[in-house]
Amino acid sequence: MDSGMQSIIEGHVPVLLEEVLDAFKPVLEMPASPRVLDCTLGGGGHAEALLEACPKLLLSGVDRDSAAIERVSRRLSRFADRISLAQSDYCDFPDAFERKERDEYHGIFADLGVSSFQLDQAERGFSFTKRGPLDMRMDQSQALSASTVVNEYEFSRLAGVFLRGECGALSHPLAKAIESSRPVQDTLELADICSRVAEKQRRKAPRKRAHAATLPFQAIRIEVNGELRSLETFLSRIPESLLPGGRLVIISFHSTEDRFVARMMREWSREPQELRFLPEPSEKQTLGRLLTKKALVPTDSEQEQNPRSRSARMRIFERC
Ligand SMILES: C[S@@+](CC[C@H](N)C(=O)[O-])C[C@H]1O[C@@H](n2cnc3c(N)ncnc32)[C@H](O)[C@@H]1O
């Protein structure tokens, strides 16, 4: 492998890697060949570590980004007989593979958000530190891009995007500033608007934050890619797809996503008597156990070595 390829492969450092391997340990130690689905292949770091940890493991993997599929196919080529990869939104995972493929798994893994490959390529438009087009599409064949959200959404719809993205009191001022700067040409111009709005607000209510564009960019990206909708649909399909004894492990980087995940895992873990007043109690059986009462977070040293891991929250659920 040439060094250029090596550095491309090394471009994304898998977050909470040891913790992910630990979480799947009982699955990797199953006597028969365990089947694991990686819903967010990205650079393939977690997938590779899982395949290396268990020589019998059969891994199916999806990503919405065709560049991720190409990259991971090359990286994992030595495991060709144990992997199936497909470009798909993970919420459609039961339909992502040929029918002969079984869509029940002993392990399901999702590492939400964007990869360093996507962030580092200015032309993808995800980064507020590099000049690029207002794009932010993970699947580049979809029509909706960041440019539509920024330059065409009417004021209240745009403010709603920021509110859902946890931009709080900045949501309305941001939508107003963007509306009056249209057409916004590129990522740096958008980042500049975010900084100016945050600066004005800071004078009224000082508050520590990462870069002022972090949350607004994340909010627009979540809108462009329908990330909350995908996560909701994905979670609704888990009960029919996770085999008994199997584990679901989800890493999220945004508090709204983490709340969704935590709420759903808690719901699946509730005892039937707690559900007796709900309609159709027979369909509301306990599905399993939530193994992380509190989300796992990266150690200080991981956060130091990989600042992008800072906001990661990992939750584990076991099907009974
Ligand atoms: C944080 S990266 C995953 C990194 C990966 N675990 C690794 O070790 O390299 C997230 C990946 O998920 C993909 N993704 C995000 N939302 C998705 C969705 N709804 N369906 C499929 N892939 C998605 C992104 O395209 C990105 O490549």
Atom of ligand 1 nearest to the CA of 251: 1
Residues 234, 109: one domain?
yes
134 belongs to a structural domain: no
123 belongs to a structural domain: no
165 belongs to a structural domain: yes
- Residue 222: name the closest of 237, 209, 236, 232 by CA: 232
129 belongs to a structural domain: no
Residues 108, 10: one domain?
yes
Cα of 196 vs centre of ligand 1, distance in Å, is: 31
Cα of 284 vs centre of ligand 1, distance in Å, is: 30
Q: Which of 224, 259, 291 is the last residue of a domain?
A: 224
The pLDDT assigned to 208 comes to 56
Cα of 213 vs centre of ligand 1, distance in Å, is: 21
Residues 104, 19: one domain?
yes
Query: Whole-structure pTM over 0.85, yes or no?
Result: yes
Q: Which of 197, 224, 251 is the last residue of a domain?
A: 224
Cα separation, 37 vs 41, in Å, equals 10
Atom of ligand 1 nearest to the CA of 14: 8
State the total domains in the chain: 2
Cα of 93 vs centre of ligand 1, distance in Å, is: 13
Residues 233, 217: one domain?
no
Beta pairing, strands 242-252 & 288-290: unpaired
Residues 196, 233: one domain?
no
3-class SS at 181? coil
Ligand 1 pocket: which residues have CB below 6 Å?
Answer: 12, 14, 40, 42-46, 62-65, 68, 89-90, 111, 113-115, 138, 230
273 belongs to a structural domain: yes
Domain that holds residue 188: 140-224
Atom of ligand 1 nearest to the CA of 117: 27
Cα separation, 48 vs 228, in Å, equals 27
The CATH number for 60's domain is: 3.40.50.150
The pLDDT assigned to 4 comes to 37
- Report the greatest alpha carbon distance in the chain: 62
Residues 268, 293: one domain?
yes
Can you give 202-225 as a three-state secondary structure string? HHHCCCCCCCCCHHHHHHHHHHHC
The pLDDT assigned to 259 comes to 95
Cα separation, 310 vs 286, in Å, equals 33
Residues 164, 76: one domain?
no
Q: What is the mean pLDDT of each run of 10 residues along the chain (320 residues)?
A: 40 94 98 96 98 97 98 98 97 83 87 96 97 98 98 98 95 98 98 95 65 95 97 96 97 95 95 60 75 96 95 97
The CATH number for 211's domain is: 1.10.150.170
Beta strands in 12-131 (DSSP E): 35-38, 58-63, 83-87, 105-111
CA 52 to chain centroid, in Å, comes to 23
160 belongs to a structural domain: yes
Residues 300, 249: one domain?
yes
Cα of 240 vs centre of ligand 1, distance in Å, is: 22
127 belongs to a structural domain: no
Tokens 């057409």 -> residue: 183
Tokens (6 digits) for 210: 């990462």
Q: Is 253 within 8 Å of 112 (Cβ atoms)?
A: yes
Render 9-45 in DSSP notation, one character per residue: HTTSPPTTHHHHHHHTHHHHT-SS--EEEES--TTSH
Residue to probe by mutation, ligand 1, list 15, 36, 63, most atoms within 8 Å of CB = 63
59 bridge partner residues: 36, 83
3-class SS at 138? coil
Residues 218, 238: one domain?
no
Atom of ligand 1 nearest to the CA of 110: 6
Q: Which of 172, 191, 224 is the last residue of a domain?
A: 224
Phi-psi region of 125 (alpha: psi -120 to 50; beta: other; left: phi over 0): left
Residues 175, 210: one domain?
yes
Atom of ligand 1 nearest to the CA of 115: 2
Task: Supply the residue whose CA is at minimum distance from atom 15 of ligand 1.
Answer: 113
Cα separation, 32 vs 52, in Å, equals 16
Helix/strand number for the chain, H first, E second: 14, 7
305 belongs to a structural domain: yes
Residues 158, 175: one domain?
yes
Q: Is 254 within 8 Å of 166 (Cβ atoms)?
A: yes
Residues 58, 148: one domain?
no
